[in-house]
Structure 1
């Protein structure tokens, strides 16, 4: 079982968390759920993950299209990137028919608390952002994040994550 918390000081490190810590542990069929406030770094994390998986296309927040599939450019799995922020119920999540791609792709669901029902085996990242203090206008989304990584299900029992 994985239950670890890491401090992430900036966007570059958030991308490295996705690319160097999480991506090497993933395989087709894995579900990654991301929770955190607006601007916490969910899409930034997914950019790093997508880069390491070698997918086609730039990873951007899929808020308005809800789900975007990034095909693999190599032998790795596709990346299905979902933003469940605008979904109002589990039924709407089911309507996306994600279970048809779950076996062959790595699926990342932002705002994914309701996505837990998609798989008993999943990785959950909860991203907490510092509050208060002055906002750096050159980097308004900057600031230290605390990322708690927890695993659920048997698939993750023997998995060890790399260090950041």
Structure 2
């Protein structure tokens, strides 16, 4: 990840458009080999965020939830990395070997993971095994709704995690 994007932070995003804009900002900072893990409940905005990341990366294809296909590849239109969008829960669910790299390899993707940006929905506790450094993003849709039941806001908290980085939560 480029150093101009903060290694940790929190943002309140009030609309889906705000979420896509944040994703686009993040997507412009991501580089081949980066792994982003999205963690949050159903409907928190994981796919919406990934749509923004895809726009920032300049990849082609409609970005939709990978739930039914497990993983989707989106090739770059600007000579950048391919986006590999994964549903980690399904990838490593019942009947899986429990080996994320092996399971991703078994999908027979056309892209080497080191040449791609991997965004894993439902990845908390699972996909960290494929890399030593990753960006963990938690999407909270409960806090804003407690404050205002009509709110569509989400609170995004992110942190670059690596064995070599101090003070990780």
**Structure 2-normalised TM-score?**
0.79
* Closer, same or farther: CA 29–129 of 1 in aligned 2, 3 Å: same
Residue pairs, 1:10-159, within 5 angstroms: 10-20=15-25, 22-86=26-90, 87-88=92-93, 91=98, 93=100, 94-97=102-105, 101-113=112-124, 114-130=126-142, 131=145, 134=149, 143-153=152-162
Q: Which runs of 5+ in 2 are unaligned?
A: 1-5
Specify which structure has the bigger relative contact order, considering alpha-carbon pairs within 8 angstroms and separated by 6 or more residues.
Answer: 1
Aligned partners of 2:44 and 2:154 also within 8 Å: yes
* CA RMSD, 1 decimal: 2.6
Distance 1:129 1:54 in 2: 28
**Structure 1-normalised TM-score?**
0.81
Aligned partners of 2:38 and 2:138 also within 8 Å: yes
How many matched pairs?
A: 150
Q: Which runs of 5+ in 1 are unaligned?
A: 136-141, 158-164
Runs of 4+ in 1 over 3 A off after TM superposition: 131-135, 154-157
